[in-house]
Amino acid sequence: MSLKVGDNITFERKFTKEDVELFTKVSRDEGSHHVTPDEQGRLVIQGLLTATLPTKIGGDNNVHARKMNFEFLRPVFTRDIIICVVPIKQFEKEDNRTRINASFVCENQHGKKVLRGHFSGVIL
């Protein structure tokens, strides 16, 4: 594992109408703002769909999350490009496990924060 304290992991994603439709079907979160486009033809992304950005980074690094905290700051819409940055705050080996503690911030293409939080867990 090449992660270390101070590393910044970045992931970017553009959400589509198809992403929202699939997540709506799976989650059953069918709020009208997720299924009815606004005057610009956009759908509002479910908060937990937006939260897949930091969880993808955890998955890419085989993190078994123990705690996750999300603060949803503003809506995310289809066609938005969201950039998620995860600075590693703690990464230390203990016994047969590696503990990890990280925060994350997600911003849209306009530099506006849409989601922030932190997670902790172990890498086996």
Mean per-residue pLDDT over the chain, rounded: 88
pLDDT at 1 > cutoff 60? no
For 71-99, the pLDDT digits (tens) are 999 999 999 999 999 988 888 787 888 88
Q: Is the pTM of this model over 0.95?
A: no
Q: Give the start-to-end residue ranges of the domains of the chain.
A: 8-15+45-123
E strand intervals along 34-80: 64-72
Say which CATH class 8-15+45-123 falls into.
alpha beta
Whether the per-residue pLDDT at 17 is higher than 60: the answer is yes
122 is written with which tokens?
Answer: 């172990």
